């Protein structure tokens, strides 16, 4: 299969590879996929609690080149977005940007799921923090 | 050293220049129809066909009359299995095969199931081999055929064909073996191994594509098969169709070369294969060999690099031609059924690479391939959340994954 230049670029120079401290209250972690399915994405966002803006995003992915490219692109897009803006990212945006063929659409779906999972984790943490503050 | 490097010799092999030389005259000067009985053009073609038949027979310990030419191993497998099922329908309706067979065998059996044939698909052990006790238990008085491959096309393991042959003979059951990957690579002897039918193909042993053969035993017992292609009654009625004379000449020459070179060639390939394995295992942790190394083709290495997905690895080593059992590299998006049959887990199937060394690979190429693979695996593990978790001591089998 021939890969698009953008997929190749993200594969060869993945952006924002790494991990953030998952115990940091401002960090949301999303882990989606399963090893037996052949892809697992871990995507993390670090949110400024004052502004709700994503200041950092990191990923690690076990998966094919398109899965790596999808998650790499996702972290690029997340930088500087508010949490609510981030939730607007659709898998089809990733498909279009990377020119993914039909058999690789599930990679983009996984990336969207990873974004949602990371943000939901952050929101859960933020909510418990507010509760904790409220109860004192 | 020239890039890209071809190391996918289980998929196909290049035609050996000596084979091509032997074939060339048969496209133009000696173009006759081997079935033309009344002029020299036909006689010359027939003579070339008979020489090839002998060359093939010599390689596998058969006699020339037991060789039937086909278009390749897929046709040979179809002809053998369907041909026996039809011919011996009165004797029984049960066939035994193995889960790791090539699709040309498995799908042929599945087709026959629709026609009322009962098929037992034997599981294999974790080393890739069928269990002889299980095989013995599967045989009934309705069993007419056992079809077990000689060497597996993905993991290169050699099935205990001689033992299976002995068992089949003692039970009066015919043995067919898909010997496509084995012929020319390891000694195959239809007498010693008690094989009744054997499939082989030209392009897996430095011959041309589009030509193969089926060995059909003539004595002890005399095996009969029903033709699957109707026509002029070529090949003693077993396979009609004008003979592909240049292809057949090429197949014969390829067999003769393999016959002459096998001892030396298999030693050289095993050395290169073991060197490749040694380098990979020295530099990388958590690599797993799929299938037994003890009974294996000398040119095969099938290895899983844990926590790295196969297609992404192939992408990183794009100047090396190899295959992966990963789902992403298959049309069905299913990981290799052969690796799954070993019970190693789907995750290792996704991480597997098949190296198939061949006659034209050099030691320099092996060194290059080893270095490149090590480099890319290390890079991808830096990228792998699974590798990170494993290094943190997390048991990945205990994690709640969100399967999709």
Which positions of chain A have pLDDT values less than 50?
none
Report the number of secondary-structure helices (H) and strands (E) in chain B. Answer: 12, 13
Structure tokens at B139: 């045989």
Examine the pLDDT at B179 and tell me if it is beyond 90: yes
- Do B251 and B173 touch, CB atoms closer than 8 A? no
Q: Where are the domains of chain B?
A: 5-9+262-394, 17-258
CB-nearest partner of B383 from A14, A32, A106: A14
Q: Does B332 touch chain A (CB under 8 A)?
A: no
- pLDDT for the residue B331: 67
Question: Which residues of chain B make contact with A117, given a CB cutoff of 8 A?
Answer: 402
Has A107 been annotated as catalytic? Answer: yes
Q: Determine the Cα–Cα distance for residues B240 and B227; give it in Å rounded to an integer.
A: 8
CB-nearest partner of B347 from A31, A36, A41: A36
Enumerate residues 73 to 92 of chain A having a beta carbon within 8 A of any beta carbon in chain B: none
A106·B382 Cβ contact <8 A: no
Q: Give the best residue of B286, B305, B312, B390 to mutate against chain A (max A CB count within 10 A).
A: B312
Distance of CA B241 to the CA centre of its chain: 25
Contacts of residue B27, Cβ cutoff 8 Å, sequence gap at least 6 = B246
* DSSP secondary structure letters along B288-323: EE-S-SSSB-TTEEEEEETTS-HHHHHHHTTTEE-E
Q: Determine the Cα–Cα distance for residues B392 and B399; give it in Å rounded to an integer.
A: 13
Q: Which of A32, A47, A54, A107 is catalytic?
A: A107
List, for residues B142-171, the tens digit of each pLDDT value: 999 999 999 999 999 999 999 999 999 999
A11·B316 Cβ contact <8 A: yes
- pLDDT for the residue B327: 74
B311·A61 Cβ contact <8 A: no
B404·A68 Cβ contact <8 A: no
Residue B242 dihedral angles phi and psi, to the nearest 5° = -55, 135
Q: What is the ipTM of this complex?
A: 0.92
Smallest Cα distance from A18 to chain B, Å: 7
Q: So what CATH class is B5-9+262-394?
A: alpha beta
- Do B300 and B270 touch, CB atoms closer than 8 A? no
- Do A40 and A100 touch, CB atoms closer than 8 A? no
Smallest Cα distance from A12 to chain B, Å: 8
Q: Determine the Cα–Cα distance for residues B133 and B169; give it in Å rounded to an integer.
A: 15
Question: Which residues of chain A make contact with B327, given a CB cutoff of 8 A?
Answer: 37-38
How many Cβ pairs within 8 Å bridge chains A and B?
89
Question: Which residues of chain A make contact with B384, given a CB cutoff of 8 A?
Answer: 60-62
Q: Does A68 touch chain B (CB under 8 A)?
A: yes
Q: Does B336 touch chain A (CB under 8 A)?
A: no
Examine the pLDDT at B265 and tell me if it is beyond 90: yes
Q: For the residues B272-282, what does the mean pLDDT come to?
A: 98
Examine the pLDDT at B404 and tell me if it is beyond 70: no
List, for residues B18-62, the tens digit of each pLDDT value: 999 999 999 999 999 999 999 999 999 999 999 999 999 999 999
List, for residues B331-379, the tens digit of each pLDDT value: 677 889 999 999 978 888 999 999 999 999 999 999 999 999 999 999 9
List, for residues A9-40, the tens digit of each pLDDT value: 999 999 999 999 999 999 999 999 999 888 99
Residue B362 dihedral angles phi and psi, to the nearest 5° = -110, 165
* Nearest residue in chain B measured CA to CA from A2: B315
Element (H, E) at B68: strand B67-70
* DSSP secondary structure letters along A57-120: EEEEEES-HHHHHHHHHHHHHHTT-BHHHHTT--HHHHHHHHT--GGGHHHHHHHHHHHHHHHH
CATH code given to domain A5-124 = 3.90.1010.10
Report the number of secondary-structure helices (H) and strands (E) in chain A. Answer: 5, 3
Closest CA to A89 of A119, A50, A64, A51: A119
Q: Determine the Cα–Cα distance for residues B204 and B180; give it in Å rounded to an integer.
A: 7
B402·A110 Cβ contact <8 A: no
Contacts of residue A78, Cβ cutoff 8 Å, sequence gap at least 6 = A45, A54, A57, A86, A89, A115
Say what the pTM is. Answer: 0.94
Contacts of residue B28, Cβ cutoff 8 Å, sequence gap at least 6 = none
Has A64 been annotated as catalytic? Answer: no
Question: Which residues of chain B make contact with A103, given a CB cutoff of 8 A?
Answer: 333
Architecture category of domain B17-258 in CATH: 3-Layer(aba) Sandwich (3.40)
Q: Give the best residue of A35, A59, A100, A112 to mutate against chain B (max B CB count within 10 A).
A: A35
Smallest Cα distance from A94 to chain B, Å: 18
- pLDDT for the residue B305: 97
Q: Determine the Cα–Cα distance for residues B304 and B289; give it in Å rounded to an integer.
A: 6
SS3 B96: strand
Q: Determine the Cα–Cα distance for residues B100 and B121; give it in Å rounded to an integer.
A: 9
Q: Does A40 touch chain B (CB under 8 A)?
A: yes
Smallest Cα distance from B380 to chain A, Å: 8
Residue B363 sits at the vertex; the CA angle it makes with B361 and B368, to the nearest 5 degrees, is 90
Question: Which residues of chain A make contact with B404, given a CB cutoff of 8 A?
Answer: 32-34, 37, 106, 109-110, 113
Q: Does A18 touch chain B (CB under 8 A)?
A: no
What length is written for chain A?
A: 136
- pLDDT for the residue A17: 97
Element (H, E) at B178: strand B174-178
Q: Over chain B, what is the mean pLDDT?
A: 96
- Do B154 and B325 touch, CB atoms closer than 8 A? yes
A64·B311 Cβ contact <8 A: yes
Structure tokens at B234: 């070529």
B383·A113 Cβ contact <8 A: no
Q: For the residues B226-253, what does the mean pLDDT come to?
A: 96
A36·B404 Cβ contact <8 A: no
């Amino acid at each position: 299969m021939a890969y698009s230049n953008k997929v190749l670029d993200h594969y060869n120079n993945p952006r924002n590879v790494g991990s953030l401290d998952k115990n940091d209250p401002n960090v949301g972690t999303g882990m989606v996929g399963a090893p037996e399915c052949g892809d697992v994405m871990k995507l993390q966002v670090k949110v400024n609690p004052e502004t709700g803006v994503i200041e950092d995003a990191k990923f690690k992915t076990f998966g094919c080149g398109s899965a790596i490219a999808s998650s790499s692109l996702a972290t690029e897009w997340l930088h500087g977005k508010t949490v609510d803006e981030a939730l607007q990212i659709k898998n089809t945006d990733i498909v279009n940007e990377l020119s993914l063929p039909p058999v690789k659409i599930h990679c983009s779906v996984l990336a969207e799921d990873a974004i949602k999972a990371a943000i939901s984790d952050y929101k859960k943490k933020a909510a418990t923090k507010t509760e904790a503050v409220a109860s004192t | 050293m020239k890039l890209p490097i071809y190391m996918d010799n289980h998929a196909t092999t290049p035609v050996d220049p000596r084979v091509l030389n032997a074939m060339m005259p048969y496209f133009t000067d000696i173009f006759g129809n081997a079935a033309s009985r009344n002029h020299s053009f036909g006689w010359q073609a027939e003579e070339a066909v008979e020489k090839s038949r002998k060359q093939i027979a010599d390689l596998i310990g058969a006699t020339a009359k037991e060789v039937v030419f086909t278009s390749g191993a897929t046709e040979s497998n179809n002809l053998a299995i369907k041909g026996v099922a039809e011919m011996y329908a009165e004797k029984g309706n049960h066939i035994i095969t193995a889960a790791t067979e090539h699709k040309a065998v498995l799908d042929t059996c599945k087709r026959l199931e629709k026609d009322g044939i009962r098929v037992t698909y034997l599981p294999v052990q974790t080393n890739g081999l069928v269990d002889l006790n299980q095989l013995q238990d599967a045989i009934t008085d309705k069993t007419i055929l056992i079809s077990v491959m000689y060497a597996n096309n993905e993991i290169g393991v050699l099935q205990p064909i001689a033992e299976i042959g002995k068992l089949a003979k003692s039970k009066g059951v015919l043995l067919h073996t898909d010997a496509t990957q084995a012929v020319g690579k390891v000694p195959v002897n239809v007498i010693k191994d008690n094989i009744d039918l054997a499939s082989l193909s030209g392009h897996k042993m430095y011959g041309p594509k589009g030509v193969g053969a089926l060995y059909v035993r003539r004595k002890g017992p005399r095996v009969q098969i029903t033709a699957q292609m109707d026509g002029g009654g070529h090949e003693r009625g077993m396979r009609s169709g004008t003979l592909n004379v240049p292809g057949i000449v090429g197949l014969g020459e390829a067999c003769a070369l393999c016959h002459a070179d096998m001892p030396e060639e298999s030693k050289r390939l095993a050395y290169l294969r073991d060197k490749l394995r040694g380098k990979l295992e020295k530099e990388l942790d958590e690599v797993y060999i799929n299938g037994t190394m003890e009974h294996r083709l000398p040119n095969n290495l099938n290895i899983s690099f844990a926590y790295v997905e196969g297609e992404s690895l192939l992408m990183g080593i794009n100047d090396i031609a190899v295959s992966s059992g990963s789902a992403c590299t298959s049309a069905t998006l299913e990981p290799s059924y052969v690796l799954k049959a070993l019970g190693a887990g789907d995750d290792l199937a996704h991480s597997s690479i098949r190296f198939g060394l061949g006659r034209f690979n050099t030691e320099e190429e092996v060194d290059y391939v080893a270095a490149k693979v090590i480099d890319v695996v290390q890079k991808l593990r830096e990228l792998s959340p699974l590798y990170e978790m494993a290094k943190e001591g997390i048991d990945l089998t205990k994690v709640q994954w969100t399967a999709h």
